């Protein structure tokens, strides 16, 4: 069979977008932004950028058509671009973009015996993978969802993620604003529940009433026994799911919390491949999975969702810091899934991204509307590319 096209050029871009309020809300006492622009959240000991950082990947075929990808770039993004520029790009030159799964497997194989089957390496694969799928969509002039088996829905239910306000009263007011705007589910972040997680849940339930789903992101903060005690109290206020109760590598703890049966455990934003998901499925460590397109890319995302289906576990895709490119990929993929109760909606990031991409995706009245057109349906705009911190060019 002759090739549809051949990859001619791969370029990477590190994006840094200013934001007024840091991710997860204003700085708390003892928190400050360092010389490189990062801050450590004392609530979960995790480093975050003070700007929205991301990595874009641009793949051009001999046809002249272009595919765009994006991966997670929130910390040390040049580690990812270096992997792509130095390691992946030379291997991809000349390959047929009509074989995205083959290319993904071949790139994964390059470093697996050295133990690079997660972290920054797989993030780099994710960005490349999304760009290849987008290029294939451009070549065939069909949306990514068509390449993945077909779109089930044009509107995807969205849950509001995060209430980035300084006080609990203000967070309750913000929750009520979202409900008034037609959203039916809201997730709060325990890492910034300064008055206590139970108090936060109780106040939010009082504010939004009994019919709105409330989820809690526990941000990997608790030992399993402490998480169980906490979730027991949260469940008195009808908790829809408890996200990331224990530290990411504490599989046994996650299983203990899940087996307590108080609320579904939601997991997966930090996992990248079926190999990382499989033991958690088999151990029944979670009742909801949250694959993050910025970490998985399209190929792994779909394989993870196929695996979830065999365990009868619903998918609620995660939505991290994105310029809109991998979010579009996530919406495209999510639109094909049979059991997808909600897609996360990080309003403080997604709404800003709409001005940074061309295309028509949106989130309003409780639903995402799908981008239209071939591939991802969106492309970076000039406004986005004005925020490039570093980039490589075609050789």
Counting every residue, how long is the chain? 395
User: Do 360 and 151 meet the contact criterion of CB atoms below 8 Å apart?
Assistant: no
SS3 89: helix
Nearer to Mg ion, 217 or 250 (CB): 217
User: Do 24 and 162 meet the contact criterion of CB atoms below 8 Å apart?
Assistant: yes
Residues numbered 247 to 266 that lie near Mg ion (CB under 5 A) are none
Nearer to Mg ion, 104 or 272 (CB): 272
Q: How many angstroms from the chain centroid is the CA of residue 136?
A: 22
Provide, rounded to whole angstroms, the least separation between the CB of residue 140 and Mg ion.
Answer: 35
Nearer to Mg ion, 123 or 217 (CB): 217
Tokens read off for 116: 């690079």
Burial class of residue 338, CB neighbours in 10 A (0-12, 13-18, 19+): exposed
Nearer to Mg ion, 150 or 248 (CB): 248
Provide, rounded to whole angstroms, the least separation between the CB of residue 218 and Mg ion.
Answer: 9
Provide, rounded to whole angstroms, the least separation between the CB of residue 271 and Mg ion.
Answer: 12
> Phi-psi category of 115—alpha, beta or left, where left has phi over 0 and alpha has psi -120 to 50?
left
Q: Is 344 in the site for Mg ion (CB under 5 A)?
A: no
Nearer to Mg ion, 39 or 384 (CB): 39
Residues in a beta bridge with 67:
59
Provide, rounded to whole angstroms, the least separation between the CB of residue 87 and Mg ion.
Answer: 29
SS3 381: coil
Burial class of residue 32, CB neighbours in 10 A (0-12, 13-18, 19+): exposed
Q: Which residue is nearest to Mg ion (CB)?
A: 217
Pairing relationship of beta strands 239-243 and 46-49 according to DSSP bridges = unpaired
Residues numbered 354 to 383 that lie near Mg ion (CB under 5 A) are none
Provide, rounded to whole angstroms, the least separation between the CB of residue 295 and Mg ion.
Answer: 12
Nearer to Mg ion, 84 or 257 (CB): 257
SS3 233: helix
Of the candidate spans 37-45, 209-217, 248-256, 357-365, the one that interacts with Mg ion by CB under 5 A turns out to be 209-217
SS3 19: coil
Provide, rounded to whole angstroms, the least separation between the CB of residue 71 and Mg ion.
Answer: 18
Nearer to Mg ion, 129 or 217 (CB): 217
Of the candidate spans 24-32, 50-58, 134-142, 210-218, the one that interacts with Mg ion by CB under 5 A turns out to be 210-218
Of the candidate spans 71-79, 213-221, 231-239, 273-281, the one that interacts with Mg ion by CB under 5 A turns out to be 213-221
Nearer to Mg ion, 316 or 376 (CB): 316
Provide, rounded to whole angstroms, the least separation between the CB of residue 243 and Mg ion.
Answer: 5
Backbone angles phi, psi at 19, to 5 degrees: -135, 150
Nearer to Mg ion, 132 or 215 (CB): 215
Q: Which of 5, 70, 129, 217 binds Mg ion (CB under 5 A)?
A: 217
Q: Give, for 259, the enclosing helix (H) or strand (E).
A: helix 251-260
- Residue 155: half-sphere exposure toward Cβ, Cα within 13 Å: 6
Q: Give, for 206, the enclosing helix (H) or strand (E).
A: helix 197-208
Nearer to Mg ion, 68 or 220 (CB): 220
CA distance 133 to 333: 11
Provide, rounded to whole angstroms, the least separation between the CB of residue 265 and Mg ion.
Answer: 12
CA distance 166 to 250: 31
Angle in degrees, CA 52, 186, 216, rounded to 5: 85
Provide, rounded to whole angstroms, the least separation between the CB of residue 317 and Mg ion.
Answer: 12
Provide, rounded to whole angstroms, the least separation between the CB of residue 349 and Mg ion.
Answer: 13
Residues in contact with Mg ion by CB under 5 A are 217
């Amino acid at each position: 069979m002759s090739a549809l096209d051949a990859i001619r050029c791969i370029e990477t871009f590190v994006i840094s977008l200013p934001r007024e309020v840091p991710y997860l809300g204003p700085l708390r006492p003892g928190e400050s932004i360092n010389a490189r622009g990062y801050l450590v959240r004392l609530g979960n000991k995790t480093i975050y950028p003070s700007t929205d950082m991301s990595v874009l990947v641009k793949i051009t075929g001999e046809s002249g058509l272009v595919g765009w990808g994006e991966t997670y770039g929130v910390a040390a993004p040049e580690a990812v671009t270096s992997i792509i520029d130095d390691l992946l790009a030379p291997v991809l030159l000349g390959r047929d973009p009509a074989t995205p799964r083959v290319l993904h497997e071949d790139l994964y194989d390059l470093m697996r015996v050295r133990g690079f089957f997660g972290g920054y390496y797989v993030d780099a694969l994710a960005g490349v993978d999304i760009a290849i799928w987008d290029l294939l969509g451009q070549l065939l002039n069909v949306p990514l969802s068509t390449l993945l088996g077909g779109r089930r829905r044009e509107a995807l239910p969205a849950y509001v993620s995060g209430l980035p306000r300084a006080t609990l009263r203000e967070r309750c007011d913000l929750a009520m604003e979202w409900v008034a705007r037609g959203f039916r589910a809201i997730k709060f972040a325990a890492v910034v529940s300064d008055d206590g997680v139970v108090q936060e849940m109780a106040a939010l339930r009082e504010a939004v009433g009994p019919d709105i789903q409330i989820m809690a992101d526990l941000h990997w903060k608790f030992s399993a026994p402490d998480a169980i005690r906490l979730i027991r109290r949260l469940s008195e206020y009808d908790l829809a799911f408890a996200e990331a109760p224990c530290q990411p590598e504490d599989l046994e703890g996650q299983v203990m919390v899940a087996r307590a049966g108080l609320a579904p455990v939601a997991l997966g934003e930090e996992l990248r491949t079926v190999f990382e998901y499989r033991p958690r499925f088999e151990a029944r460590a979670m009742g909801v999975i949250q694959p993050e397109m910025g970490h998985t890319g399209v190929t792994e995302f779909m394989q993870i969702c196929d695996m979830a289906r065999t365990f009868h576990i619903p998918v609620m895709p995660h939505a991290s810091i994105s310029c809109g490119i991998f979010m579009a990929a996530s919406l495209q993929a999510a639109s094909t899934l049979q059991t997808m109760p909600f897609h996360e909606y990080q309003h403080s990031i997604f709404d800003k991204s709409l001005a940074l991409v061309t295309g028509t995706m949106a989130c309003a009245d409780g639903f995402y509307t799908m981008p239209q057109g071939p591939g991802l349906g969106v492309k970076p705009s000039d406004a986005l590319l004005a925020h490039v911190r570093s980039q490589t060019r075609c050789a």
